């Protein structure tokens, strides 16, 4: 069962690294590294459902990690501006076009509410801290809104993981159907990623600005 194998690997990694590992993964997610929260937090929920981890410590560690990662992105934008962000971001596979879309999104709706809502929007939530830094948003409100938004999102995904674990026998019952879905999802995701990157390279820089 492919799903079972993926689950075992993810749970083993979290068993080995503990709260620190989960927090570090969420920090990377907030630093535009290709580590989606949807691939981390549900398995943190598994740990809680299996009574290996404390729910509140898990939420605290991952939300702190998200905030630290967001702060690092904010500082890159605040102190270095876009040139430094692009220079350092290439090591995290930063997507320039997605960053520029997020910049425009933030500039058009600049404010604390925009930052908060962005924590729940795919793609935008990975980049929003950078234009907040470039735009010199006050640090205090930035940290508060980032922590609250990250906590709500991480808690939602953690609870989803707990519910999935509690109904794991149902998943196993339909293992073949689940495996097909996982394979199709992964292949489609890889195909989209490759197409997206090739499209980025094919477009002149002037079109992305």
Total tally of structural domains belonging to the chain: 1
The mean pLDDT of the chain is 78
Q: What residue numbers bound the domain in which 9 lies?
A: 2-168
Tracing tokens 């290996």 back to the chain, one arrives at: 52
Q: pLDDT tens across 158-192, in order?
A: 998 898 888 766 655 555 555 566 566 656 766 76
88 in any annotated domain: yes
pLDDT of residue 169: 66
Angle at 199 between CA 194 and CA 200, to 5 degrees: 100
Residue 188 C-beta-side C-alpha neighbours within 13 Å: 6
81 in any annotated domain: yes
pLDDT of residue 206: 44
192 in any annotated domain: no
Tell me if 46 sits within 8 A of 5, measured CB to CB. Answer: no
Distance in angstroms (rounded) separating the CA atoms of residues 24 and 15: 14
Q: pLDDT tens across 125-166, in order?
A: 878 888 888 888 889 989 999 999 999 999 999 998 898 888
More confident residue, 203 or 62: 62
pLDDT band at 123 (very low <50, low <70, confident <90, very high): confident
Give Cα separations from 62 to 95, 111, 132 (angstroms).
24, 25, 21
DSSP class of 52: S
Tell which residue, 115, 112, 93, has the closest CA to residue 32: 93
């Amino acid at each position: 069962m492919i799903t079972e194998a993926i689950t075992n690997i993810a749970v083993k990694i979290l068993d080995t690294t503990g709260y620190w590992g989960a927090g570090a993964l969420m920090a990377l997610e907030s630093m535009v590294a290709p580590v989606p929260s949807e691939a981390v937090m549900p398995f943190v929920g598994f740990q809680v459902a299996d009574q290996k981890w404390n729910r509140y410590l898990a939420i605290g560690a991952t939300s702190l990690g998200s905030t630290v990662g967001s702060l690092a992105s904010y500082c890159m934008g605040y102190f270095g501006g876009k040139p430094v962000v692009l220079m350092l971001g290439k090591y995290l596979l930063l997507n320039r076009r997605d960053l520029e879309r997020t910049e425009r999104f933030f500039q058009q709706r600049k404010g604390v509410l925009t930052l908060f809502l962005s924590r729940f929007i795919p793609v935008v939530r990975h980049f929003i801290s950078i234009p907040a830094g470039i735009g010199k948003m006050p640090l205090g409100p930035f940290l508060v809104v980032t922590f609250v938004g990250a906590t709500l999102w991480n808690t939602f995904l953690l609870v989803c993981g707990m519910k999935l674990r509690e109904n794991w026998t149902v998943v196993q019952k339909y293992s073949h159907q689940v495996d097909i879905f996982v394979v199709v999802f992964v292949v489609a995701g890889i195909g989209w990623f490759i197409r997206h990157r090739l499209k980025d390279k094919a477009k002149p820089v002037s079109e992305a600005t």
